[in-house]
Amino acid sequence: MKRYDLVVVGAGPSGLSAAIEAAGRGMHVIVFDENEKPGGQLFKQIHKFFGSKEHKARVRGFRIGQELLEEAGRTGVEVCLRATVIGLYQDHELVVRIGDAIEHVKGDTIIIATGASENMVTFEGWTLPGVIGAGAAQTLMNLHGVLPGKRVLMLGSGNVGLVVSYQLMQCGCEVAAVADAAPHIGGYGVHAAKIARCGVPFYLSHTIKKAEGTDHVTGVEIAQVDEHFQFIPGTEKHFDVDTICIAVGLSPMSQLLKMAGARMADDPKKGGQVPVCGRFGATSLPGVFTAGDVAGIEEASSAMIEGRMAGAAAAAYLGFMNEDACEKREKQLTDSLSELRQGMFAPQNKGKQLTVTDEGIPLSKTLLTKGYVSDEEIEAFPGFTHRVGVHPVIECTQNIPCNPCQDVCPKNCISIGDQITALPKVAGGAECVGCGMCVASCSGQAIFLVDEDKGDGTAEVTIPYEFLPLPAQGTVGTALSRSGQPLCRASVVQIRSGKAFDKTNLLTMSVPKEFAMRARFFRADKEAAK
Amino acid sequence: MSEASEKQKAMKLAQEAAASRVNDRSRDIGEFVPAPDDDIIVCRCEEVTKGEIRKAVHDGMWTVTEVRRYLRTGMGLCQGQTCGRLVKGIIARELGISPALLEPATSRVPMRPLEMHIFANEEKEE
Amino acid sequence: MSERIAEHPILGKIEKGRTVKFTFDGKELEGCEGEPIAAALKVNGVMVHRYTKKTHQPRGIFCAIGRCTDCVMVVDGVPNIRTCITPLREGMNVQTQYGVSPLTFEEQAEKYSR
């Protein structure tokens, strides 16, 4: 039987981070993963991450995956792929299926980082081909380059539902609507706003009644539900779609720990059955640790820190790190993690319906139900400023842990302060040069550059643009509002695609000046697009 | 005793009281009442419907494991990966308790579908 | 019918293996070597991977990561192969799965009634 200082199960963000941390302390580490490729779900995450610099904010998920793999290679982590851990027994023994054989492996410490699986809901026709998990859509389009469908209905308005809807549009699918049985959008407002301004309608307090079709999906019927989640007759709406995507949450995949006899608890706030953990991912089984979604559903950024914590804890457990060094390292990681666990979407706020921001500004109600901030509401936020000349307009209206906009501005126009969840403010007196770094760096795509009056009755609005085809300079079309409604004629005056923008192009459009503070998306005329 | 541990103790007691409801077989959970969505498939692998699961509860199957043995929910190829949570929810609703109080199905080897010839093929020690 | 993403605004051109031929229910189709069989079928417009044993309902891709086992088919004569995680190879013989057989339910009834 092969023996390792540490065996990690799962090569996703938390598992790889754990392995790197432990290997860096001199431990002999192997990571098993059942997939063809390592990285877990990171390589399907093509959007820019939130957080601060140390959380790799404004870096796209798949690039973080590449960095982790390189680091794993450098630190001597052995990653064993197509290796399915099928059992975890007493005395730290793992049974692994590799190819057509069964191997037994011993880990003096073990870190379970098996992640999560998608939840599902049932409705008439939910077994029809064409009804897929949101993860399946991501896998098909972002890993295999195959369109999941032509026209999609998304069920679920959490971050997964919102992000995948946006990604579907990026690869050329049409998103017919986003529906959610809950009365409020569950994910970040900025993610919702990104798709609302492209014209995607939101149906809150709505869920799927049936999927239509005989051999595969040809349509879907949704209907409104009351506060007891019962359908309200007469509220049915039909959409012609070929694909229905389900994004209704995740459950920890904690079966290995349960099998091994770890103390488990059913915690709805953590997404289901999770191991009862002490400090730094220590389970009730000595020497067995856990990190990432398996211990409670969160997201990749916090999973990576939890992985580091478990890795350091495993190192200390076997004496590869003295108590002092471990304490110091864990303190550092705890601080970093608590920074991410702040704001209105923090785990402790799960299930709460907040009404004002930390600054005391009323939260946008239209954002929570329709996916965009209304023209009246937006004026109240500190990033929404009127100036002479080009200046940033920041439509960031919820307290989320993210601050790249503050870091990237070369002129210090934008300030968030020490509290990472504070709403960004546009500093008075500072001079914007229109470089656009803030626009491209905002993971929520909530920053625009606006020159409200060019002196000839027009205004210029610069928006982040991540779609193909990229309109050329001079292209004419329609400017859309935050709600995706056509506002006015617009023409493209400039397209900027610098390397520093990392594929977020900056599209500057000219619009009549009365629309300067309302025009937030551009749609080229059909003829011009050809 | 600190306030936090006091709270924990109270929570534990409440849980135990509720858990006894799970096992209190003398409790009357009422008759099986047919519902319009009874023919929706819940366990996709073994093709078990919501109605069958609800009926099973009224036949006396009050735990995930009992329903599993009775109807084969979660016993197919995927081993309950998709339906585990759904089945638990249906049983809990029928019993009038929170799903969190129901013990999930037993986890055992192998965690993924596996052909018997592979399961028996132990790698030789070098 | 589904298509391949020619160019992606973030990922650029997605690297794929060389084009290979395989058969689906006797018809010759093309796909990219190394991609999951399910992806190749999707590009060719195949939605139904199997019909279930009890109720003969159609099933296709559902989770796409090898967990749900809904996309299983008969591959090179072996049933219950998870097509979403099995890489496509030149000359593979992929068949719709009826219950656990490549024979249609009518063919099965006829074969086993004799």
Say if the Cβ atoms of C68 and B41 lie within 8 Å. Answer: no
Q: Are residues A198 and A105 in the same domain?
A: no
Query: What pLDDT was estimated at residue A530?
Result: 45
Q: Which residue has the tokens 């626009």?
A: A439
Integer Cα distance of A12 and A68 in angstroms:
10
Q: Are residues A494 and A389 in the same domain?
A: yes
Q: Scanning every residue of chain B, which has its alpha carbon at the shortest distance from the alpha carbon of A89?
A: B109
Q: Coil, strand or helix: which one is A111?
A: strand
In CATH, what number is assigned to the domain containing residue A294? 3.50.50.60
DSSP C14: P
Q: Are residues A130 and A240 in the same domain?
A: yes
Integer Cα distance of A266 and B106 in angstroms:
14
C63: nearest CB among A135, A171, A216: A135
Q: Are residues A50 and A190 in the same domain?
A: no
What per-residue string of b and e applies to A348-364 under the rule 16 or more CB within 10 Å gives b?
A: eeeeeeeeebeeeeebb
Structure tokens at A86: 């099928």
Query: What pLDDT was estimated at residue B17?
Result: 65
In CATH, what number is assigned to the domain containing residue B73? 1.10.10.1100
Residues sharing a CB contact under 8 Å with residue C26, sequence separation 6 or more, in sequence order: none
Using 50, 70 and 90 to split pLDDT, how confident is the model at B25? confident
Q: CA of C35 to nearest chain B CA: how many angstroms apart?
A: 21
Question: A203, A226, A246: which is the final residue of a domain?
Answer: A246
Q: Are residues A471 and A491 in the same domain?
A: yes
Residue B89 domain flag? yes
Q: Are residues A239 and A136 in the same domain?
A: yes
Amino acid, single-letter form, for residue B94:
E
Domain that holds residue A225: 120-246
Q: Are residues A233 and A289 in the same domain?
A: no
Q: CA of C100 to nearest chain A CA: how many angstroms apart?
A: 18
Q: Are residues A257 and A240 in the same domain?
A: no
Q: Is the pLDDT of residue B2 over 90?
A: no
DSSP A500: G
**Which of A266, A267, A270, A294 is the mutation pick for testing B, counting most B CBs within 10 A?**
A266
Measured CA to CA in angstroms, residue A442 lies from A47, A349, A368, A383, A408 at distances of 11, 24, 20, 13, 10
Question: A225, A246, A267: which is the final residue of a domain?
Answer: A246
Question: What is the sign of the dihedral through the CA atoms of A147, A152, A155 and A160?
Answer: positive
Residue A142 domain flag? yes
Q: Scanning every residue of chain A, which has its alpha carbon at the shortest distance from the alpha carbon of B42?
A: A122
Question: A246, A269, A296: which is the final residue of a domain?
Answer: A246
Q: How many residues comprise chain B? A: 126
Percentage above 70 pLDDT, chain B: 90
Residue B100 domain flag? yes
Query: What pLDDT was estimated at residue A411?
Result: 93
Q: Are residues A39 and A55 in the same domain?
A: yes
Structure tokens at A114: 């098996």
Residue A290 domain flag? yes
Domain that holds residue B67: 32-119
Which residues of B sit within 8 Å Cβ distance of A? Answer: 37, 40-42, 44, 50, 81-83, 85-86, 99-101, 104, 107-112, 114, 117-123, 125
Integer Cα distance of A394 and A385 in angstroms:
8
Residue B26 domain flag? no
Query: What pLDDT was estimated at residue A412?
Result: 93
Query: What pLDDT was estimated at residue C2?
Result: 54
Q: CA of A102 to nearest chain B CA: how many angstroms apart?
A: 5
Integer Cα distance of C13 and C4 in angstroms:
11
Q: Are residues A131 and A81 in the same domain?
A: no
A119 touches chain B (CB under 8 A): yes
Residue A351 domain flag? no
Number of domains in chain B: 1
> Which domains can be identified in chain C, with CATH numbers?
19-113 (3.10.20.440)
Query: What pLDDT was estimated at residue B18?
Result: 66
Q: Are residues A242 and A274 in the same domain?
A: no
Nearest Cα neighbor of A347 from A418, A391, A401 is: A401
Say what the ipTM of the complex is: 0.97
Residue B20 domain flag? no
Integer Cα distance of B106 and B103 in angstroms:
8
Chain A residues closer than 8 Å to B111 by CB: 84-87, 255-256, 259
Structure tokens at C101: 């057989």
Neighbours of A526 (CB within 10 A): 8
Residue A362 domain flag? no
Measured CA to CA in angstroms, residue C76 lies from A132, C80, C102, C104 at distances of 26, 11, 10, 17
Query: What pLDDT was estimated at residue B27?
Result: 86
> In sequence order, what E strands does A39-165 have?
78-80, 83-89, 93-98, 101-112, 116-118, 131-133, 151-155
Residue B114 domain flag? yes
Nearest Cα neighbor of A425 from A452, A390, A395, A388 is: A395
Q: Are residues A380 and A514 in the same domain?
A: yes
Using 50, 70 and 90 to split pLDDT, how confident is the model at B3? low
Residue B82 domain flag? yes
Residue A74 domain flag? yes
Chain B residues closer than 8 Å to C53 by CB: 47
Q: Consecutive sets of 10 residues in chain A, 530 residues long: mean pLDDT of each?
A: 96 98 98 94 95 93 96 97 95 95 97 96 97 97 96 98 98 97 97 98 98 98 96 98 98 95 93 94 97 95 97 97 94 94 90 91 96 96 94 96 94 93 88 95 97 96 97 97 98 96 97 98 78
Number of domains in chain A: 3
Residue A228 domain flag? yes
Residue B44 domain flag? yes
Stretches in chain C below the pLDDT threshold 70: 1-2
